[in-house]
Amino acid sequence: MSRTAEKEFNSLDKQTQERIRGALKELENDPFQPRPKADIKKLHKMSKHEFYRLRVGNYRAIYAIENMTIKVTRIIPRGKCYDWLE
Protein backbone atom coordinates (compact mmCIF):
# COMPACT_ATOMS: atom_id res chain seq x y z
CA MET A 1 0.00 0.00 0.00
CA SER A 2 1.39 3.41 -0.89
CA ARG A 3 2.05 5.92 1.88
CA THR A 4 -0.86 8.05 0.62
CA ALA A 5 -3.25 5.07 0.59
CA GLU A 6 -2.10 4.07 4.06
CA LYS A 7 -2.86 7.57 5.42
CA GLU A 8 -6.26 7.56 3.73
CA PHE A 9 -7.00 4.08 5.10
CA ASN A 10 -5.97 5.00 8.65
CA SER A 11 -8.22 8.08 8.61
CA LEU A 12 -11.33 5.90 8.12
CA ASP A 13 -13.50 4.48 10.89
CA LYS A 14 -12.76 0.91 12.00
CA GLN A 15 -15.87 -0.58 10.36
CA THR A 16 -14.98 0.92 6.97
CA GLN A 17 -11.37 -0.22 7.39
CA GLU A 18 -12.56 -3.80 7.98
CA ARG A 19 -14.78 -3.72 4.89
CA ILE A 20 -11.93 -2.42 2.73
CA ARG A 21 -9.44 -4.88 4.24
CA GLY A 22 -11.80 -7.77 3.46
CA ALA A 23 -12.41 -6.57 -0.10
CA LEU A 24 -8.67 -6.19 -0.73
CA LYS A 25 -8.07 -9.69 0.66
CA GLU A 26 -10.54 -11.01 -1.94
CA LEU A 27 -8.35 -9.57 -4.69
CA GLU A 28 -5.71 -12.21 -3.93
CA ASN A 29 -7.86 -14.77 -5.77
CA ASP A 30 -8.27 -12.72 -8.96
CA PRO A 31 -7.57 -8.97 -9.02
CA PHE A 32 -9.11 -8.49 -12.48
CA GLN A 33 -12.49 -10.27 -12.51
CA PRO A 34 -15.59 -8.52 -11.10
CA ARG A 35 -17.71 -10.74 -8.85
CA PRO A 36 -20.08 -10.41 -5.89
CA LYS A 37 -18.44 -8.26 -3.19
CA ALA A 38 -15.70 -7.25 -5.66
CA ASP A 39 -16.92 -4.60 -8.08
CA ILE A 40 -13.78 -4.11 -10.16
CA LYS A 41 -13.37 -1.80 -13.13
CA LYS A 42 -10.33 -1.25 -15.30
CA LEU A 43 -9.46 2.43 -15.51
CA HIS A 44 -7.74 4.20 -18.36
CA LYS A 45 -4.08 3.39 -18.70
CA MET A 46 -2.07 5.99 -16.86
CA SER A 47 1.71 6.16 -17.18
CA LYS A 48 3.23 2.71 -17.49
CA HIS A 49 0.66 0.97 -15.27
CA GLU A 50 -2.91 -0.10 -15.81
CA PHE A 51 -5.01 0.95 -12.85
CA TYR A 52 -8.12 -0.72 -11.49
CA ARG A 53 -10.87 0.52 -9.22
CA LEU A 54 -12.38 -1.62 -6.47
CA ARG A 55 -15.68 -0.31 -5.14
CA VAL A 56 -16.24 -0.79 -1.41
CA GLY A 57 -19.38 1.02 -0.30
CA ASN A 58 -18.81 4.75 -0.68
CA TYR A 59 -15.06 4.32 -1.11
CA ARG A 60 -12.86 3.35 -4.01
CA ALA A 61 -9.53 1.58 -3.78
CA ILE A 62 -7.32 2.37 -6.76
CA TYR A 63 -4.68 -0.25 -7.47
CA ALA A 64 -2.25 -1.56 -10.05
CA ILE A 65 -0.57 -4.93 -10.46
CA GLU A 66 3.23 -4.83 -10.33
CA ASN A 67 5.20 -8.06 -10.63
CA MET A 68 2.19 -10.13 -9.53
CA THR A 69 1.74 -7.87 -6.48
CA ILE A 70 -1.31 -5.70 -5.84
CA LYS A 71 -0.17 -2.12 -5.22
CA VAL A 72 -2.94 0.02 -3.68
CA THR A 73 -2.24 3.65 -4.54
CA ARG A 74 -5.33 5.47 -3.22
CA ILE A 75 -8.39 4.85 -1.04
CA ILE A 76 -10.75 7.73 -1.63
CA PRO A 77 -14.44 8.63 -1.29
CA ARG A 78 -16.57 7.95 -4.34
CA GLY A 79 -17.05 11.59 -5.31
CA LYS A 80 -13.34 12.40 -5.24
CA CYS A 81 -12.33 9.29 -7.18
CA TYR A 82 -13.29 10.66 -10.53
CA ASP A 83 -11.71 14.05 -9.81
CA TRP A 84 -8.46 12.16 -9.17
CA LEU A 85 -8.65 10.57 -12.63
CA GLU A 86 -8.85 13.88 -14.47
Q: Kindly report, residue by residue over 6-40, the tens digit of the pLDDT.
A: 999 999 999 999 999 999 998 888 898 887 777 89
Backbone φ and ψ of 7, nearest 5°: -65, -45
Topology of domain 3-85 in CATH is: YaeB-like fold (3.30.2310)
* Residue 61: per-residue pLDDT: 94
Backbone φ and ψ of 52, nearest 5°: -125, 155
Structure confidence at residue 62 as a pLDDT band (50, 70, 90): very high
Structure confidence at residue 45 as a pLDDT band (50, 70, 90): low
Global pTM value: 0.85
